[in-house]
Amino acid sequence: MARTAIIGLLAAASLVAQGIVDLTRSPYAKLHPVPVKAVRLAGGFWEPRRQVNVEKSLPGMLELLEAHGIVDNFRRLSGRKQGPRQGPLYTDSDVYKWMEAAAFVLQSEDRPDLTSALDRLTDDIVAAQEPSGYLNTYYQDDRAKLRFTEMYRSHELYCLGHMLQAAIARYRADGNRRLLDAGIKFVNYLVSEFGPEKRPLLTGHPEFELAVIELYRVTGNKAYLDLAGYLLSGVERDRLKLSESQIAYMFSGKPFTSRPEFEGHAVRAMYAASGAADYYIETGDAAYRETLDRLWTDLTARKMYITGGVGSRSDGEAFGEAFELPNLAAYTESCAAIGNMFFNFRMLQATGESKYADVIERALYNGIDSGMSLDGTLYCYRNPLASTGEKIRNPWYDTTCCPPNLQRVLASLPGYFYSTNRDGLYVHLYDQSELTWKLEDGTPIRVRQDTKYPWDGSVTLAVSPEQPAEFTLFLRVPGWSRSTRITYPGGSVTAPAGKYYPIRRTWRPGDVVQIKFDSRPQLIASNPRLLENWRKAAVQRGPLVYCLEQQDQAGEKTPFDLSLTAQAKPFAEEFRKDLLGGVLVLKHVGLADSKPTMEQPLYEGIGASQATPTAPAELVFIPYYSWANRGASAMAVWIRLK
């Protein structure tokens, strides 16, 4: 083996506990994600996105956080800046999310600019911390007396949760524990002051639960896991006099294990479920597992958009009823889709079941990827499935939770690709990339993926353990692939969809596996109870959901004036390098209403309606994630069927 390869493998062996979560000692984890640094994305679909994040989004967002006084909120507490506090009460979390994103970048590559920005921010934050450990820039001065008195809205634990996640990501990047020690100090203050026999505590916006469990994983201090368990147990509803509507909205304040369904604020609910999944992974508590399964079914069978977006109502940024999934009015906050990914990522590690990876992929390639513009400077807060052409992307929001959330997902993305267990290696996601890690018996391994996924359904994996080793390679076969052929040394199989296909054998350096997924476009129908999608279809190709954007259609017809014919013919495919950063465009014959729908009667006899003249039209579809990158334009995912 070449000397550089050996050095690379040695470097891999020295990486410890640098995954998005560290499940190496978690008794109920079936899988263990690999470190972020172990996977190098290389020029495929995601690497350009990751790069734009590093080069454009992160610097731009730090400038905006500074320009809006959000970092000064910390500095004013230490006297380094004067002036009033800026922004809503949860803005500390946005600085922390940015820091977490930057720290994940450092897990992948050396970036002195990001290291020094993190050092400066850490300095300002630590200087603002009180001797007790308390730290929140909103509950200061005359608001100090309100601390922990209005927890249903205060976001004190939410901000601390994000601080812990930033601190842990930094610690895992380069061993710097300055922010981590500050976070631990605050958590120790909570442990000493709050609890069943002490003062009551509540996460009005869940997030802290999953963060403090990660802190338990870092430190081994069981008090942190118990604190999460206490919060999830919701025992303080009486002492805190919480109303039913508060409990429903916050998705906390009553036992997590008593939840029959998802309701209330979608981001809160997704983070609560993620924290509960973490709690299950550590405790194996069967009541948690049952609840998580029940909630997952509620989500994926009744409340999730085809894009992986969740939370359909603007009012309260909340879940609707079952099948209440409007397209134009869809709220589908970027943070909620990200929360969906976090929840499913944890369920995947807990169970090893590919249905969770399917949801991760659905959310990632669609409802999350749509959240950041292709140039990395504009963000969607809402990710609707139809639009009449309003402006949807902005560089900044007063509540700017989504941009840094998108940044931390992109920065940590390599860590989602693989897991290990005692039997071998799981491949969850496909993209041009290289894994340099080790099997759980310590055998160093490299896996190189060569693929144009998602544009092409072919993936070639070169599997190279350092020396011949018997283990199982578990290849995820996505639920959307109607037929999948896997060829490996000594075998060729048709693999069922929606499962991991296990190949157990003695693998030798350079062994090659070829996978051919069926990524041809499909027309997708909704459950009939999803009333808005009656007689409509969506187009999906591989993991990508497609849409019609007005500016691509001949005569700039709106998507609402176009329809697909029920007898679908094959789609024409054209890779357009020049368009939207390079996308595979789909074209299909369809019909255009001769009279624009805007001018048609609101109601008319069915006969007249069916006789509305139409003309043949070519429908041009682009991937949903790429919409709204060329200015405002009408868009639809669900297209009328005629």
Residue from 167, 335, 364, 463 that binds ligand FUB (CB under 6 A)?
335
358 binds, among ligand FUB, Zn ion, none (CB under 5 to 8 A by kind): none
Residue from 38, 187, 215, 267 that binds ligand FUB (CB under 6 A)?
267
Contact flag: residue 333 with ligand FUB (CB under 6 A):
yes
Contact flag: residue 205 with ligand FUB (CB under 6 A):
yes
Contact flag: residue 341 with ligand FUB (CB under 6 A):
no
- The percent helix, strand, coil of the chain (3-state, each to 5) is 40, 20, 35
Structure token digits, residue 1: 């083996």
Secondary structure of 153-203 as H, E, C letters: HHCHHHHHHHHHHHHHHHHHHHCCCHHHHHHHHHHHHHHHHECCCCECCCC
Contact flag: residue 90 with ligand FUB (CB under 6 A):
yes
Give whichever of 61 and 477 is closer to Zn ion, judged by the CB atom.
61
Residue from 401, 447, 495, 592 that binds ligand FUB (CB under 6 A)?
401
Task: Name 471's bridge partners.
Answer: 505
16 Cβ neighbours under 8 A, 6+ residues apart = 35
CB of 155 to ligand FUB, least distance (A): 6
CB of 153 to ligand FUB, least distance (A): 9
Query: Binding segment for Zn ion among 62-70, 97-105, 397-405, 480-488 (CB under 5 A)?
Result: 397-405
Write the binding mask 287 to 326 for Zn ion: x where contact by CB under 5 A, - elsewhere. ----------------------------------------
Q: What is the DSSP string of 375-419?
A: TSS-EESB--SEESS---EES--SS--HHHHHHHHHHHGGGGSEE
**Distance of CA 73 to CAs 77, 92, 180, 269, 399, Å?**
7, 8, 20, 28, 15
Structure token digits, residue 578: 């020049």
Contact flag: residue 92 with ligand FUB (CB under 6 A):
no
Type of residue found at 625: Y
CB of 399 to ligand FUB, least distance (A): 5
Give whichever of 69 and 316 is closer to ligand FUB, judged by the CB atom.
316
CB of 514 to Zn ion, least distance (A): 40
317 binds, among Zn ion, ligand FUB, none (CB under 5 to 8 A by kind): ligand FUB
Write the binding mask 76 to 115 for Zn ion: x where contact by CB under 5 A, - elsewhere. ----------------------------------------
Give whichever of 399 and 600 is closer to ligand FUB, judged by the CB atom.
399
Write the binding mask 214 to 233 for Zn ion: x where contact by CB under 5 A, - elsewhere. --------------------
39-41/433-438 β-pairing: antiparallel
Give whichever of 89 and 103 is closer to ligand FUB, judged by the CB atom.
89
209 binds, among Zn ion, ligand FUB, none (CB under 5 to 8 A by kind): none
Q: How many CB atoms lie within 10 A of CB 610?
A: 9
CB of 326 to ligand FUB, least distance (A): 18
Q: Are 394 and 413 in contact (CB under 8 A)?
A: no
Residue from 21, 401, 427, 469 that binds Zn ion (CB under 5 A)?
401
611 Cβ neighbours under 8 A, 6+ residues apart = none
Query: Binding segment for Zn ion among 395-403, 443-451, 564-572, 611-619 (CB under 5 A)?
Result: 395-403
Give whichever of 205 and 536 is closer to Zn ion, judged by the CB atom.
205
Which of 88, 74, 77, 89 is closest to 120 using CA atoms? Answer: 74
CB of 461 to ligand FUB, least distance (A): 38
Which of 201, 165, 193, 182 is closest to 74 using CA atoms? Answer: 182
Give whichever of 318 and 583 is closer to Zn ion, judged by the CB atom.
318
Residue from 377, 399, 443, 483 that binds ligand FUB (CB under 6 A)?
399
Per-residue DSSP letter, 599: G
Per-residue DSSP letter, 549: E
Residue from 34, 135, 250, 402 that binds Zn ion (CB under 5 A)?
402
Q: Which residues of 105-132 are buried (b: 16+ CB within 10 A; e: fewer)?
A: bbbbeebeebbebbeebbbbbbebbeee
Q: What is the DSSP string of 54-118?
A: IIIIHHHHHHHHHHTTTTHHHHGGGTSS-S---S-TTTHHHHHHHHHHHHHHHHHS--HHHHHHH
584 Cβ neighbours under 8 A, 6+ residues apart = 455, 541, 573, 574, 575, 576, 623
CB of 315 to ligand FUB, least distance (A): 12
Please tell me the distance from the alpha carbon of residue 259 to that of residue 80, in angstroms, as a whole number: 46
Please tell me the distance from the alpha carbon of residue 568 to that of residue 501, in angstroms, as a whole number: 31
466 Cβ neighbours under 8 A, 6+ residues apart = 1, 9, 443, 444, 445, 509
Give whichever of 403 and 521 is closer to ligand FUB, judged by the CB atom.
403
Type of residue found at 280: Y
Write the binding mask 330 to 349 for Zn ion: x where contact by CB under 5 A, - elsewhere. ---x-x--------------
Q: Are 86 and 140 in contact (CB under 8 A)?
A: no
Type of residue found at 213: I
CB of 48 to Zn ion, least distance (A): 24
Residue nearest to Zn ion (CB): 335
* Residues 18 to 47 in contact with ligand FUB, rule: CB under 6 A: none
346 binds, among Zn ion, ligand FUB, none (CB under 5 to 8 A by kind): none
Contact flag: residue 314 with ligand FUB (CB under 6 A):
no
CB of 400 to ligand FUB, least distance (A): 9
Q: What is the DSSP string of 218-256?
A: HH--HHHHHHHHHHHHTTTTTTTT--HHHHHHHT-SS-G
The burial class, CB within 10 Å (0-12 / 13-18 / 19+), for 417 is: buried
CB of 301 to ligand FUB, least distance (A): 24
Contact flag: residue 409 with Zn ion (CB under 5 A):
no
Give whichever of 157 and 515 is closer to ligand FUB, judged by the CB atom.
157
90 binds, among ligand FUB, Zn ion, none (CB under 5 to 8 A by kind): ligand FUB
Query: Contacts with ligand FUB: how many residues (CB under 6 A)?
Result: 8
206 Cβ neighbours under 8 A, 6+ residues apart = 158, 250, 251, 252, 268, 269, 271, 272, 275
* Residues 43 to 62 in contact with Zn ion, rule: CB under 5 A: none
386 binds, among Zn ion, ligand FUB, none (CB under 5 to 8 A by kind): none
552 binds, among ligand FUB, Zn ion, none (CB under 5 to 8 A by kind): none
Q: Which residue ranges make up the site for ligand FUB (CB under 6 A)? A: 90, 205, 267, 317, 333, 335, 399, 401
